Amino acid sequence: MKKNKVLILRTAGTNCDYETQSAFELCGIAVERVHISVLIENKSKIFEYDILVFPGGFSYGDDVASGKVLSNEIKNKLGSEVRKFALSGKPIIGICNGFQVLVKIGLLPDPELFTQVSTFSHNDYNKFECRWVYLKTGNKINNESNCIWTNKLPTIVSLPIAHGEGKFIPKNKSILNSLNKNNQIVFRYSSKDGNIPRYPLDPNGSVDNIAGICNKKGNVFGLMPHPERYIFHMQHPSRKNFTGKNHGWGKIIFQNAVDFVNR
């Protein structure tokens, strides 16, 4: 039987690739970190993999705008391949800079459409921030989502964020409405008890407190927080006071995808 494999796509300025690799490996799947120049030379190589990851970092220094240069490169040189990968139903995750890339190439919110319909702006407080936040999972209407990545998570989880351009802005009202209607908003910044947060728990001023979205099918997932930084409970800032199990919420997210492809 063929062994499943994760592809972590890296380029100049990628910097969360090692910990993302470890997170997947701890979920029991093989991982390869592949430079984009290698993939561009051999485009069909992408289909050897079962999960595609756009990791965090500062791709090309985030020159022009965060994730912009990389998303153009992907769109122009690997566009049809990544779209095909997404439409095939295989899991794709974009974390932080990777989320920005997914949105800017148009894989989110709709890979069929493959057009950019939302963007990211500078945080409302206009500075880079690294801190932990609460996230409300699921959806306002019926608490259900197709997202394969966020199964089994409780209503409120905490994860760290670290970004300067994290304010998610949909192009117009109808885009936002359809995200809501189709249960595509999987993570919202929240207060500890699930209410609308204020700064700093709302770290960037995202429209509708959006922190992570998926496509309708639920296989393509992008989020600003860093699940790969919360695999063990020791990574949580409150340490001994933490009453959860001995793994972090991030582990569940990666395990969900691994279980999905192993099925």
> Is the CB of 94 or the CB of 160 nearer to another protein?
160
Q: Which residue's structure tokens are 């409405």?
A: 177
Residue 76 in the binding site for another protein (CB under 8 A): no
SS3 117: coil
Tokens 């109808």: give the residue: 174
Name which of residues 125 to 144 contact another protein (CB under 8 A).
Answer: 127-134
Instruction: Determine, following the binding rule CB under 8 A, whether residue 60 of this chain makes contact with another protein.
Output: yes
Asked if 67 touches another protein (CB under 8 A), the answer is no
Q: Does residue 16 carry a catalytic annotation? A: no
| Residues numbered 176-195 forming contacts with another protein, rule: CB under 8 A | 192
Tracing tokens 């050897």 back to the chain, one arrives at 48
Strands 92-95 and 220-223: parallel
Q: Report CA dihedral (168, 174, 178, 181) to the nearest 10 degrees.
A: 110
Q: Known catalytic residue: 226?
A: yes
35 is catalytic: no
Among 117, 201, 207, 261, binds another protein (CB under 8 A): 201
Q: Does 124 bind another protein (CB under 8 A)?
A: no
Rounded to 5°, angle at Cα 66 from 61 and 252 = 105
CB 101 within 8 A of CB 58: no
* Closest-CA residue to 215 (of 119, 141, 113): 113
The continuous run of DSSP H or E covering 72 comes out as helix 68-87
The one catalytic residue among 81, 147, 228, 233: 228
**Binding region for another protein (CB under 8 A) out of 13-21, 42-50, 82-90, 168-176:** 13-21
16 counts as binding another protein under rule CB under 8 A: yes
Residue 177, judged by CB atoms within 10 A of its CB (0-12, 13-18, 19+), counts as exposed
Establish if 58 lies at the interface with another protein (CB under 8 A): yes
Q: Which is nearer to another protein, 13 or 79 (CB)?
A: 13
Give the residue, chosen from 79, 235, 247, 259, that forms a contact with another protein under the rule CB under 8 A.
235
Instruction: Show the site string, 78-117: x = touches another protein by CB under 8 A, - = not.
Output: ----------------------------------------
Exactly one of 16, 27, 73, 96 is catalytic; which is it?
96
Pairing label, strands 30-35, 185-190: unpaired
Is 159:226 a contact under the CB 8 Å cutoff? yes
Q: Residue 243's CB: how many other CB atoms inside 10 A?
A: 7
Residues taking part in catalysis: 96, 226, 228
Query: Which spans of this chain sit near another protein (rule: CB under 8 A)?
Result: 10, 12-16, 18-19, 21-23, 35, 37-38, 56-58, 60-62, 127-134, 158, 160, 162, 192, 200-201, 226, 228-229, 231-232, 234-235, 237-241
